[in-house]
Chains A and B, each alone.
Chain A
Amino acid sequence: MIEKFDAIVVGAGPSGNAAAYTLAKGGLSVLQIERGEYPGSKNVQGAILYADMLERIIPEFRDEAPLERHIIEQRLWMLDEHSHMGTHFRSDVFNEAKPNRYTIVRAQFDRWFSRKVKEAGATVVCETTVTGLLRDPAGRVYGLTTDREGGEVHADVVILADGVNSLIAERAGLRPKVRPEHVALAVKEMHFLPREVIDQRFGLKENEGVVIEMAGTITAGMAGTGFLYTNGESISVGVGCLVSDFKENGTSPYVLLDRMKRHPSIAPLIADSEVKEYAAHLIPEGGYDAIPAIHGDGWMIVGDSGQFVNAMHREGSNLAMTTGRVAAETVLELRSTGKHMTAHNLSVYRKKLEASFVMKDLKKYRRLPSTLHDNKQFFTDYPRLLARAAETWFRVDGVEKKQKEREMVGSFFKSRGLRGLISDAFKVARAWR
């Protein structure tokens, strides 16, 4: 006998868990299907958790969720081959009763979230891959197929939270294939060190943590960034670049990460550590213009699957949780007013997102992906120029300061030309607005 549910959620990452939890709490019969051995087993993230978006779903999460450290210091680094320059912002204000950002380990975090989903009453099935959507002659989605024997299940609405590749929607013809210039490939390692050593190296106490975001020559001329996050007893280090750039450049991601780890500014931070995990994962970075259709008759798309990532601010899991929650709330509202899950009715989901920070932020940076893709000088020339300038400025060698200033300005003109400098400034300003 084929079972029917009010809703089926595909995937147990942050977006799927937010959706399944909200739906189950709302009293619906919910089936969640995850292909991994357990929720989180397949998932990769830096990982910073933004508290606010989770708090809206599970207000008491701080008492239960496996959190590593709360962030009290943010560093933004621009690196060339020998140096880094940038800003550090550390504040005791971040040691607040309800901190805003935490580092997490996704495998553990996702498991906890999934337990909450089960407690809320959803039926969660793991080690099961969804292979396709079932559509009636009019195109309405009424269920799906899985790779298990007798694997068909039906539902009023299917929420696709299956992550960046979004194969299910693509196979069903609901969206085009994800393009290589719209996704970054990131590699990441977990470096284990005793807690005290991490505390010492970064000047931390108790559960305080540091985040370092990096750009510059570490990406070998490709559009991308690196990161280093402190967990309780490990440090996550990673780097990611656009897939299209990797293809053009021919560099492999792990070579990039290896080189980055040997950078004189980074090596001492992870020295003597034991590497325990190596992971690679895609990140949707196409921004607003890459967002596909996210709803239709009987289906919705949430999280990475809908390209909901703000690459500039490294926000992904929070957009995933927010889109998951909003999709679920839309379903609950329709149910309570006795409405069907038609494309027209589900369009409320998109409207809600357009009115929220989700779409507004993505819209703000809609030009950024293509600007960075087409202007590699931001990852090559500028870091070098800035480092050289700082080096000139701080070296005390009897050269008069006026002369130093002339040299510094001159180096920028020589490298980029007046036109180049103006146009670069213009491009950044435009992409930023």
Chain B
Amino acid sequence: MHIVVCIKQVPDSAQIRVHPVTNTIMRQGVPTIINPYDLFSLEAALAIRDEHGGTVTVLSMGPPMAADSLRRALSIGADRAVLLTDRFFAGSDTLATSYALATAITKIASDQPVDMVFCGKQTIDGDTAQVGPGIARRLGFHQLTYVESVETIDRARRTVIVRRRAEGGVQVLRSELPCMVTMLEGSAVVRRGSMADALRAARADVTTWSAKDAGIEDISQCGLRGSPTVVRKVFAPQPRKEKAVLIEASAHDPVHMAEATIDTLFAALPGLNAELHAAAAR
């Protein structure tokens, strides 16, 4: 099995600030992390490798600094890392990003065919969830999105069974390989690599590819030029002024507590009663 895991270095959203005047995200000084969903996809890929053998290649497009995230992926246990970095990639939207990554995966596959591509469900800085499906379309792979776990792989038949979280339940899907999977947080614990992994990662040279190295011929599909997305306006939402209401009640008296809660709700939202009646009548 050869599995490519796409990871993105993102600012730690828990520590981000919005510039009070320009409304832009202030990235300077904010620590970066591997997009959390990508870690779950890395874990899923490593688990498959442990069971079936093979190679896990981590791939990222980003500034040279993103090599840190790739090195961290190596210390968790990935076998090989490739960083796509080029000024031509600057300003890429999801269309241009999926183009660059898909082209790089094709290049990676020319050494060793790729059976699966993993992505996180979405990134925590863009939240679009479009890059994974974009890669799948461009490579002509089946796509399995919002997967919470990979159940079994049948290497002889070249099929995979996954559990996919869907509205209202869980779907168990079988797909042919090669396929592209986007992972949810799942239930697997992301492993810590061994001391040998940590040492290997600390010494590893992350392979760095320019657009040309990755086999990208059509630069016009990359970066800002290849990105039809237009940002019209960026604004920080006004923080809502939450009004907290303290409901006095005793824990020994759940009935009274429930009544007090309902009374408080109706008092706070005068229109609620009428709305509920209207809804019931419909």
Take A3-B199, A124-B202, A148-B198 as given contacts and tell me if A105 and B29 are in contact as well, using a CB distance cutoff of 8 Å: yes
Central interface residue in A107, A150, A152, by most chain B CB within 10 Å: A150
A3 CA to B203 CA in the complex, in Å? 13
Count class of interface residues, chain A: 20 to 34
- Establish whether residues A128 and B198, one from each chain, have CB atoms under 8 Å apart when the complex forms: yes
The majority secondary structure among interface residues of chain B is helix
Whether A125 and B202, one on each chain, are in contact in the complex, defined by CB atoms closer than 8 angstroms, is: yes
Determine whether B193 belongs to the interface, using a CB cutoff of 8 Å to chain A.
yes
Query: Among A108, A123, A150, which residue has its beta carbon within 8 angstroms of that of B203?
Result: A123
Contact B75 A127 (CB under 8 A): yes
A277 to chain B: closest residue by CB: B15
Is residue A153 within 8 Å, beta carbon to beta carbon, of the partner chain? yes
Task: Given A127-B75, A192-B17, A276-B17, check contact A149 B29 (CB 8 Å).
Answer: no
B75 touches A146 (CB 8 A): no
**Chain A positions within 8 Å of B171 at CB level:** none
Q: Determine the residue in chain A with the shortest Cβ distance to B20.
A: A194
Interface string of A124-167 (1 = CB under 8 A from B): 11011000000000000000001011111100000000000000
- Asked if A50 lies at the interface with its beta carbon under 8 angstroms from chain B, I say no
Q: Which of B17, B195, B201 contacts A151 (CB 8 A)?
A: B195
Given the known interface contacts A123-B203, A274-B17, the answer about A150 and B29 at a Cβ–Cβ threshold of 8 Å is no
Asked if B230 lies at the interface with its beta carbon under 8 angstroms from chain A, I say no
Residue-by-residue, is B238-249 near A (CB-CB < 8 Å gives 1, otherwise 0)? 000000000000
Asked if B31 contacts A149 (CB within 8 A), the reply is: no
A31 — which chain B residues lie within 8 A by C-beta? 199
Q: Which of A165-215 contact B (CB under 8 A)?
A: 192, 194
Does B196 contact A150, Cβ atoms closer than 8 Å? yes
How long is the Cα–Cα vector from A427 to B204 in the complex, in angstroms?
A: 58
Known: A123-B202, A127-B75, A274-B17. A150 touches B194 (CB 8 A): yes
Known: A192-B17, A274-B17. A148 touches B31 (CB 8 A): no
The reply to whether A41 and B198 contact each other, CB–CB distance below 8 Å, is: no
**Does the CB pair B17–A125 fall under 8 Å?**
no
Interchain nearest-CB distance for B51 vs A (Å): 18
Within 174-208 of B, Cβ neighbours of A (below 8 Å) are at: 192-199, 201-203
> What separation, in Å, do the CA atoms of A149 and B29 have in the docked complex?
33
Using A105-B29, A274-B17, A276-B17 as known contacts, say yes or no to A149 and B194 having CB atoms under 8 A apart.
yes
Q: Give A169 to B199 CA distance when docked, in angstroms.
A: 24
* Chain B positions 3 through 29: 1 when the CB is less than 8 Å from some CB of chain A, otherwise 0: 000000000000101001100000001
Q: Which of B15, B17, B195 contacts A152 (CB 8 A)?
A: B195
Minimum CB distance partner of B68 in chain A = A38
Q: Chain B contacts of A108 at CB under 8 A?
A: 29
Known: A148-B193, A192-B17. A125 touches B199 (CB 8 A): yes
Cα distance, A151 to B199, chains bound together (Å): 10
Residues of A within 8 A of B17 (CB): 192, 274, 276
Determine if B199 and A123 form an interchain contact, defined as CB atoms under 8 angstroms apart. yes
B201 contacts across to A, CB distance below 8 A = 125
A41 adjacent to B31 (CB under 8 Å): yes
B203 to A148, Cβ gap below 8 A?
Answer: no
* CB neighbours of B31 from chain A (8 A): 38, 41, 107
CB distance from B164 to the nearest CB of A (A): 32
Chain A contacts for B29, CB-based, 8 A: 105, 107-108
Complex interface residues of chain B between 29 and 79 (CB less than 8 A to chain A): 29, 31, 68, 75
Is A128 touching B195 in the complex (CB atoms < 8 A)? yes
Most B C-beta atoms less than 10 A away, residue of A41, A107, A148: A148
Select from chain A the residue with minimum beta-carbon distance to B191. A149
A149 to B77, CA, bound (A): 12
Q: By the criterion CB–CB under 8 Å, are B202 and A148 in contact? A: no
Residues of chain B within 8 A (CB-CB) of A151 are 194-195
Interface centre among B20, B194, B195, B197, by most chain A C-beta atoms within 10 angstroms, is: B195
A105 to B30, CA, bound (A): 12
B192 — nearest CB in chain A belongs to which residue? A148
Complex: A150 Cα to B20 Cα, angstroms: 49
Interface centre among B15, B21, B197, B199, by most chain A C-beta atoms within 10 angstroms, is: B199
Instruction: Sample 15 A-B pairs with CB under 8 A, ordered by A number.
Output: A38-B31, A107-B29, A107-B31, A108-B29, A123-B199, A123-B203, A125-B75, A125-B199, A128-B198, A148-B194, A148-B197, A150-B195, A150-B196, A151-B195, A152-B195
Top 5 nearest A-B pairs (CB, nearest first) are A149-B194, A148-B195, A151-B195, A125-B198, A150-B194
Q: Which residues from chain A sit less than 8 Å from chain B, CB to CB?
A: 3, 31, 38, 41, 105, 107-108, 123-125, 127-128, 146, 148-153, 192, 194, 274, 276
20 more contacts with CB within 8 A, not counting A123-B203, A125-B199, are: A3-B199, A31-B199, A105-B29, A107-B31, A108-B29, A124-B202, A125-B195, A125-B201, A127-B75, A146-B195, A148-B192, A148-B194, A148-B195, A149-B194, A150-B195, A150-B196, A152-B195, A192-B17, A274-B17, A276-B17
